[in-house]
Chains A and B, each alone.
Chain A
């Protein structure tokens, strides 16, 4: 059954249909939430909140064609809620460790990912949300703005800042071991 059919069935209270919608979306929602929150457990809580809310409120969804965007919106806002709660509680949470080999002779790509990971840490969750929606979930910037409920100009400026931060982090890494061609560390 296509997505529209599943949505209509879910709107009539069909749990199985909603479970199929969950199955088709949960992996990408989880990845986006992990990027925004950089914490696996908080991301899990956010995705659970978003999907429960989606189930609860799906009868209010007027246009089934916007289901994915609606789900992204619920997920991003659940993530920002989690981030806000984390900040309020002032609890230090362990950031997701990057699964890089411990040896210093990583390949260039691994080092770039590590540098990117470090650069992402310096962004706030709202900036990472723009990155997640645009580069991970592949939404055009106009839809990113719509999902986040912000003007297009704000989305552009957030993305610009995030890109500059990530680019400078990856292309101009902080002082440390120098990567030389071949992936060796000098």
Chain B
């Protein structure tokens, strides 16, 4: 046995001697604090904590397919891809980065591959396939490309492809750890990537031309960072406070300088900001976020991006605010259904879907409806004015992203 292997064999004992396990004296203090700490309701978790790490993607065993059938299917796929390419490629004008736009294709990661879906027909086309695990596609704001994550042999990287899934290129993510959220810059030249509440709190700007990523030196932990509309000169992110489980929202310049706390405003008593989800308005003037009020109820609040006093716009317990493209409404989830509320004052509140059927939703770019992923795995097309919801003709296991196109 070499000295090295003996060292490794002895290491657990050496460490156990250095750091012996003993019941610490603060155990009672923790138990006392727990007795006065509210639990977060189960329904407020958009994705209940998944079994960690590698989600095993079982690839189906495909029975032998007769060549004639295979050829026919391939031809059909080519035709579909060509039709999709014509459909997408024919749109020469580009939509604005924020605000209403025409509805294009849907893109969704499913089973380690990425698909495009034509929402009008429900046709689903494989855009990115192969043995790699590709996931989390997000369209650029002008709809010409999408970014996605690819895992290959334990390595995870950020990639871009054009809107048809062609021209796949890897972006530089050297030195970035555990980032998940993707937010395209308004001009489409870069992507803001950041971690969530269990990652290292890193934010970086990744240029889509393949040049090196730049990690922002914010001086504080940052989660779920997004660009502030309309020009992306600033970014907005969540940061954990000094008190456990209390979070704040911070605005900083896009170069990482000039951080200032947006909420809680100065002098405001810190509440339990558990699960602080937020979204800037399409014009960037306000930020919607969820916060417990004095009674302990989670509500949606609005605060000017430039700073000011937050105002509650919901009356029921509410989480996960989603702005409509025109900024006139905010959709949110409640314990007994899915709602929309006007952003004016007063703000009329409408329950769109009864029952706790799902939390994850996305507005269509034209604002005429929302797509809601239900707990049962179905896609509901929800009328934001309160009309009847209908089940989509297409299906996906994850919430798709919607391509924005120039309005006709």
* Residues of A near any B CB (own CB < 8 A): 11, 13, 15, 18-19, 22-23, 26-28, 30-32, 34-35, 44, 47-49, 51-53, 55-63, 65-66, 69-70, 73-74, 77, 80-81, 84-85, 88, 98, 109, 112-113, 116-117, 120, 126, 131-132, 135-136, 138, 142-143, 145-154, 163, 166-167, 170-171
- Asked if B245 lies at the interface with its beta carbon under 8 angstroms from chain A, I say yes
Restricting to B136-171, which residues have a CB under 8 Å from any CB of A? Answer: 154-156
CB distance from B284 to the nearest CB of A (A): 29
State whether the Cβ of B267 lies closer than 8 Å to any Cβ in chain A: no
- B18 surroundings in chain A (CB, below 8 A): 35, 98, 113, 116-117, 120
Count of B residues near A, CB < 8 Å? 58
For residue B8, which residues in chain A have a CB less than 8 angstroms away from its CB? Answer: 163, 167
**Contact assessment for A62 and B26 in the assembled complex, using a CB-CB cutoff below 8 Å:** no
Chain B 33-72 interface residues, beta-carbon cutoff 8 Å to A: 33-35, 37-42, 45, 48-54
Q: Which residues of A contact B274 (CB under 8 A)?
A: 56-57
* Shortest CB distance A116–B (Å): 5
B345 to chain A: which residues have CB within 8 Å? none
A27 pairs with B24, CB closer than 8 A: yes
**Beta-carbon contact of A147 and B21 below 8 Å:** no
A74, B199: Cα distance in complex, Å = 10
With a cutoff of 8 Å between Cβ atoms, the chain A residues found around residue B3 in the complex are 171
**Taking beta carbons and an 8 Å cutoff, which residues of B are in contact with A?**
3-4, 7-8, 10-12, 14-24, 26-27, 29-31, 33-35, 37-42, 45, 48-54, 154-156, 177-178, 195, 198-201, 219-221, 240, 242, 244-245, 274
Contact, CB under 8 Å: B26 / A19: no
Question: Could you tell me if B38 and A62 are in contact, using CB atoms closer than 8 angstroms?
Answer: no
- A147 contacts B245, C-beta separation under 8 Å: no
Closest 5 interchain pairs by CB?
A: A146-B53, A60-B45, A59-B42, A27-B21, A62-B48
Give the contacting residue for A146; candidates B16, B42, B52; CB below 8 A.
B52
Which residues on the A side are within 8 Å of B52 (C-beta)? 66, 69-70, 73, 146-147, 149
CA distance A52 to B38 in the complex (A): 10
Q: How far is the CA of A146 from the CA of B56 in the complex (A)?
A: 13
| A51 close to B34 (CB less than 8 A) | yes
B346 to chain A, nearest CB (A): 33
A166 touches B11 (CB 8 A): yes
Closest Cβ of chain B to A15, distance in Å, is: 5
Which of A31, A47, A117, A153 is within 8 Å of B154, CB to CB? A153
Chain A residues whose C-beta falls within 8 Å of the C-beta of B201 in the assembled complex: 81, 84
| Contact call A136/B154, Cβ cutoff below 8 A | no
CA distance A39 to B27 in the complex (A): 17
> When the two chains form their complex, are residues A56 and B17 in contact, meaning their CB atoms are under 8 A apart?
no
**Which B residues lie within 8 Å of A74 (CB)?**
198
Whether A136 and B19, one on each chain, are in contact in the complex, defined by CB atoms closer than 8 angstroms, is yes
Q: Tell me if A's interface is mostly helix, strand, loop or mixed.
A: helix
- Cβ distance A167 to chain B, nearest Cβ, rounded Å: 5
Closest A residue, CB atoms, query B25: A44
User: Is there an interface contact between B37 and A70, defined as CB atoms closer than 8 Å?
Assistant: no
What distance in Å separates the Cβ of A59 from its nearest Cβ neighbour in chain B? 4
Q: CA separation between A69 and B31, bound complex, in Å?
A: 21
In the complex, 14 of the A-B residue pairs with CB atoms within 8 angstroms, ordered by the A residue number, are: A22-B27, A23-B23, A31-B19, A32-B19, A53-B245, A59-B39, A59-B41, A81-B240, A135-B15, A149-B53, A149-B178, A149-B198, A151-B156, A154-B177
Q: By the criterion CB–CB under 8 Å, are B21 and A44 in contact? A: no
Complex CA gap A57/B39 in Å reads 6
> Using Cβ atoms and an 8 Å threshold, which residues of chain B touch A135?
11-12, 15
Q: With A and B bound together, what is the CA distance between A62 and B11 in angstroms?
A: 34
Nearest-CB distance from B291 to chain A (Å)?
A: 15
Q: Are A61 and B49 in contact (CB under 8 A)?
A: yes
With A48-B244, A53-B245 as contacts: A73 and B37 at CB distance below 8 Å: no
Q: Roughly how many angstroms separate A26 CA and B3 CA in the complex, as a whole number?
A: 34
Asked if A62 and B30 make an inter-chain contact with CB atoms under 8 angstroms apart, the answer reads no
Greatest chain B CB density within 10 A among A35, A56, A112, A126 is at A56
B155 surroundings in chain A (CB, below 8 A): 151, 153
A26 touches B16 (CB 8 A): no
| Given A31-B19, A70-B52, A116-B18, A138:B12 Cβ within 8 A | yes
Q: How far is the CA of A22 from the CA of B23 in the complex (A)?
A: 10
B22 in contact with A66 (CB, 8 Å): no
Q: Are B23 and A167 in contact (CB under 8 A)?
A: no
- Report the separation of the CA atoms of residues A136 and B13 in the bound assembly, to the nearest whole angstrom: 9
Cα-based distance from A26 to B23 in the complex (angstroms): 7
Verify A52–B48 contact, CB threshold 8 A: no
Min CB–CB distance A71 → chain B (angstroms): 11
Known: A30-B21, A135-B11. A52 touches B199 (CB 8 A): no
Q: Do residues B11 and A15 form an inter-chain contact, with CB atoms below 8 A? A: no
Known: A34-B19, A163-B8. 17 other contacts (CB 8 A): A15-B31, A26-B27, A27-B23, A30-B22, A48-B26, A49-B244, A51-B30, A53-B245, A57-B274, A62-B51, A66-B49, A73-B198, A113-B14, A135-B11, A136-B15, A145-B53, A146-B53
Assembly CA distance A136 to B14 (angstroms) = 10
Contacts of B244 in A (CB 8 A): 48-49, 52-53
Instruction: Return chain B residues, CB-CB under 8 Å to A32.
Output: 19
Report whether A52 and B49 are in contact in the complex, using a CB–CB cutoff of 8 Å: no
CA distance A33 to B39 in the complex (A): 24
The docked-state distance in angstroms from the alpha carbon of A59 to that of B177 is: 27
